[in-house]
């Protein structure tokens, strides 16, 4: 089996280019892996910051809801107190009317003549 020199040079050149491509690919892979790791770290930090911001906002929303509920409770309490006062006043008026409408206090009208 005879191998010609130009063929041997061509095969050598292809081998060198292939090794260079593999080495380049490994270097690119390492660079890409490093960039992916950095992106992952950045994403993790951004997620943590977003989580903290959401936690703070949720706390503020919770406080606002609690304050609104307290205010609504006070308004309901005031409204029921006002209704109770009105009911007592109505009861007193009804009792006074009933006392004023007894037969002894009513003017008598003469019976019609037949």
Summarised one tens digit per residue, pLDDT across range 56-94 is 999 999 999 999 999 999 999 999 999 999 999 999 999
What phi, psi does 102 have (nearest 5°)? Answer: -75, 150
How high is the pLDDT of residue 82?
95
Both tokens of 17, joined, read 């280019």
pTM: 0.44
* pLDDT 10s digits, 14-41: 665 565 555 567 777 788 778 888 888 8
Per-residue confidence at 3, pLDDT binned at 50, 70, 90?
Answer: very low
Q: Whole-angstrom Cα distance, residue 36 to residue 43? A: 10
Q: What angle do CA 69, 71, 76 make, to 5 degrees?
A: 95
């Amino acid at each position: 089996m005879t191998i010609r020199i130009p063929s041997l040079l061509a095969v050598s050149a292809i081998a060198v280019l292939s090794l260079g491509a593999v080495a380049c690919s490994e270097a690119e892979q390492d660079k890409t892996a490093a960039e992916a790791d950095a992106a992952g770290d950045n994403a993790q930090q951004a997620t943590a910051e977003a989580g903290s911001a959401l936690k703070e906002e949720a706390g503020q929303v919770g406080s606002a809801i609690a304050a609104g509920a307290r205010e609504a409770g006070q308004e309901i309490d005031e409204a029921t107190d006002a209704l109770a006062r009105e009911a007592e006043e109505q009861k007193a008026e009804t009792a006074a009317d009933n006392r004023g409408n007894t037969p002894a206090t009513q003017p008598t009208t003469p019976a019609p003549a037949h």
